[in-house]
């Protein structure tokens, strides 16, 4: 779950002032059952709301003891670091590379 959320977020890691009117990407929430289905595109703001909801669902599911090779999966530290980055960008509305370190 968190890997797909991270992938979607990586496509557009900023919140423009026009996020409520800009078209987002189709957010797939279940496995596909047909070839090349027609998908609805919400706004960027709706995509980010779905990312936030999936982060809240996915973070409690992360367990470091489950992975033998955590560098290929989200571990707790990486998951919470991504969540913190996502929240800071949502709250600031600025581009991440312009943030002070």
Cα angle for residues 34, 37, 38 (degrees, 5° grid): 160
What are the residues facing 93 on neighbouring strands? none
HSE (side-chain half, CA atoms, 13 Å) at 41: 7
Q: Please, which pLDDT band fits residue 57 given cuts at 50, 70 and 90? A: very high
More reliable by pLDDT, 99 or 73: 73
Average pLDDT of the residues of the chain: 79
pLDDT tens per residue, range 59-73: 998 887 766 665 667
Distance of CA 59 to the CA centre of its chain: 12
């Amino acid at each position: 779950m968190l890997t797909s959320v991270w992938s979607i977020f990586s496509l557009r890691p900023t919140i423009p002032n026009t996020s409520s009117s800009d078209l987002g990407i189709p957010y797939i929430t279940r496995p596909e059952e047909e070839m090349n289905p027609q998908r609805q595109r919400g706004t960027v703001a709706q995509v980010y709301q779905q990312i936030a909801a999936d982060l809240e669902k996915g973070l409690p599911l992360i367990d470091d003891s489950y992975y033998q090779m955590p560098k290929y999966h989200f571990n707790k530290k990486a998951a919470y670091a991504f969540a913190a980055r996502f929240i800071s960008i949502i709250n600031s509305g600025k581009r991440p590379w312009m943030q002070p370190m």
